Amino acid sequence: MYFAAEVLASSSTLKQKWEDEVRKSVAKVADQKPEHLWSTVSDLKIKRLYGPDDIKDMDFEQDISYPGQFPYLRGNQATGYRGKYWTFRMFSGMGDAKTTNERWHMLLKEGQTGLSTAFDFPTLMGYDTDSPKARGECGKCGVAIDTLEDFMQLVEGIPMDKVTTSMTINPPATALWAMYCAAAEIRGIPLTKIGGTIQNDMLKEFIAQKTLMCPPDPSVKLISDTVEFGTKFVPRWNTISISGYHIREAGATAVQELAFTLRDGMEYVEDVIRRKGLDVDEFAPRLSFFFNSHIDFFEEIAKLRAARRIWATAMRDRYQAKDQRSWWMRFHTQTAGCSLTAQQPYNNVVRTATEALAAVLGGTQSLHTNSLDEVLCLPSDHAVQIALRTQQIIAEETGAANTIDPLAGSYFVEALTNEMEEKAWEYIHKIDEMGGMVAAIEKGFPQLEISDAAYLYQRQVDANEKIMIGVNKYVTAEATPIPLIEIDDAVETAQVARLQAVKRKRDGKAVKKALDDIKSACKKGENVMPYCIEAVKSLASVQEICDVYREVYGEYRDPGLY
């Protein structure tokens, strides 16, 4: 028990007195809004006050403990942010490889400490820029990469053995990771020296982000290939970034984000053990996570704290992991794009700062802060700089990094953390009963739960029950002009020409052999990674590799659930 009996007894008397006082006051002057509207952005009801009785059943050693100790509620590292701040990692990519490389160098010069790659839609979906399906998309939402030549330009001058690079890439993750490995080898950097992350989380694609290629089972097989390859040859690489970010952006509540993401993680753990026969402690320490930090300050802090405790418990008890590094939930956080508004865009700086502070108080290890203009277009240099400075101000001015997990022991934060954990486990058990996440996805379960939440939220905004400043309150008539970045349609023409030049000069026979080798590995169930590295070195394109997967495994189409 968390409190001595005398404390709870005296608290109970004082609480009664307080409740009487509240009743009297409310009878005179009613609250500003009815009881049910005092809730989180996810519609979790919040009480007027929390006290000792809200956390009376907690056990200090089992439920809270110390940083670096089970259940890691208070963080994985004993030293907190004193040894090292979170990694300042701004997601960026635009136009062609050269333009993105320039942005990367600018960010590193401004004090960014890790890189994060945004690819354009054709690359994300495994199509080359010259595909009819890619028309109009080149370079618009990220950088266009077709072959290793583009990739070499992307990492030009980047110290690959020192800076870690994250790549948001999913169905074609094997191809793009192979390019990173090949680029390192060409530069003479051994695979054991490179570090970074590939997102490589297909389950959340089926659930939310919809970057789709092959059906769920072979998609998970390709992911297990990367986990196995990383475990054996690229030990500093995080081969999956199990992501709640996109689940949340698609409209999920904080609890749904937490539950679906962690259940996805469990699905990958089970698949690697079953399909690859690896021991859980061989690969689990390299699993990483990626969460959203939305606008509801305490809900986000509670979610991140709960995530660490759920994962540690699941890894220790459900999968019998022995190595404490397997129990650690290591995660990146990004502030919520969907919380930003096109109206009065400068207000977005305030939203992002609040969300970033929540991520830090929740103990994130890596952070992307959105730029004020991201709701309208790719971020401009100036907007990115403000976003990066936001992190630096939080780290070095606010004092938020002075002490570890400063909100621990707060009646409210601990109670909310417990509540989110409980509700997440309910979802996790429900998905277990359905036969796991792949089965749940096939039933449309997480997709429709998210649709319900998204639709409810939109109706609440329309009814002014949830407030978005500038959208449904304090609306101003005139628009605030801000400079917008536009990717010229000429980028597409130039990229197509570059791809065609590569195709003309490469050794066609070598490409064909390399692609045939991937196909045969797919058919035999072998690990595709070594063959992908050979293929990209022969200048096979992203689409050529993905076409092999589509041919062998079949294509998956969005069922269009709503």
Partner 1 sequence: MSDKKIRVMVAKPGLDGHDRGARVLARCFRDAGFEVIYTGCHQTPEQIASAAIQEDVDVVGLSCLSGAHRYLFPAVAKLLKEQGADDITVVGGGIIPEQDFQLLYDAGLKAIFVPGATLASIVDWFNTNVQPRA
Site for partner 1, rule CB under 8 A: 121-122, 124-125, 127, 132-137, 140-141, 205, 209-212, 249-251, 338, 341-343, 375-377, 451, 454-455, 458-459, 461-462, 471, 479, 484, 486-487, 489, 557-562
Cα gap 438→399, rounded to integer Å: 43
State in angstroms the smallest separation of the CB of 5 from partner 1.
Answer: 50
State in angstroms the smallest separation of the CB of 452 from partner 1.
Answer: 9
- Dump the DSSP string for 426-472: HHHHHHHHHTSHHHHHHHTHHHHHHHHHHHHHHHHHHTTSS--BTTT
What's the CA dihedral at 281, 285, 288, 293 to 10 degrees? 110
Nearer to partner 1, 122 or 196 (CB): 122
Residue 540, SS3 per DSSP: coil
Cβ atoms of 178 and 167 within 8 Å: the answer is: no
The one-letter amino acid at 458: Q
Nearer to partner 1, 373 or 414 (CB): 373
Nearer to partner 1, 127 or 425 (CB): 127
Nearer to partner 1, 134 or 287 (CB): 134
User: Which of 24, 129, 4 shows the shortest CA–CA distance to 502?
Assistant: 129
Nearer to partner 1, 152 or 375 (CB): 375
Cα gap 341→373, rounded to integer Å: 9
DSSP letter at 45 equals: B
State in angstroms the smallest separation of the CB of 377 from partner 1.
Answer: 7
Nearer to partner 1, 113 or 344 (CB): 344
Cβ atoms of 175 and 542 within 8 Å: the answer is: yes
State in angstroms the smallest separation of the CB of 249 from partner 1.
Answer: 7
**Phi and psi for 118 in degrees, rounded to 5?**
-100, 125
State in angstroms the smallest separation of the CB of 45 from partner 1.
Answer: 23
3-state SS string for 299-323 = HHHHHHHHHHHHHHHHHHHHCCCCC
Nearer to partner 1, 355 or 421 (CB): 355
Cβ atoms of 423 and 254 within 8 Å: the answer is: no
State in angstroms the smallest separation of the CB of 468 from partner 1.
Answer: 8
Most distant CA pair in the chain, distance: 85
State in angstroms the smallest separation of the CB of 389 from partner 1.
Answer: 25
Nearer to partner 1, 87 or 495 (CB): 495
Cβ atoms of 484 and 377 within 8 Å: the answer is: yes
Residue 198, SS3 per DSSP: strand
Cα gap 250→253, rounded to integer Å: 10
State in angstroms the smallest separation of the CB of 261 from partner 1.
Answer: 17
State in angstroms the smallest separation of the CB of 132 from partner 1.
Answer: 8
State in angstroms the smallest separation of the CB of 357 from partner 1.
Answer: 25
State in angstroms the smallest separation of the CB of 446 from partner 1.
Answer: 13
Nearer to partner 1, 8 or 461 (CB): 461
Cβ atoms of 146 and 495 within 8 Å: the answer is: yes
Radius of gyration of the chain (CA): 24
On the question of a cis peptide bond just before residue 122, with omega within 30 degrees of 0, the verdict is: no
Nearer to partner 1, 203 or 314 (CB): 203
Give 107's contacts (C-beta < 8 A, 6+ positions apart): 90, 92, 115, 384, 388
Cα gap 121→198, rounded to integer Å: 16
How many distinct helices (H) and strands (E) make up the chain?
21, 9
On the question of a cis peptide bond just before residue 483, with omega within 30 degrees of 0, the verdict is: no
Residue 333, SS3 per DSSP: strand
Nearer to partner 1, 497 or 561 (CB): 561
Nearer to partner 1, 7 or 461 (CB): 461
State in angstroms the smallest separation of the CB of 492 from partner 1.
Answer: 9
Cβ atoms of 515 and 545 within 8 Å: the answer is: yes
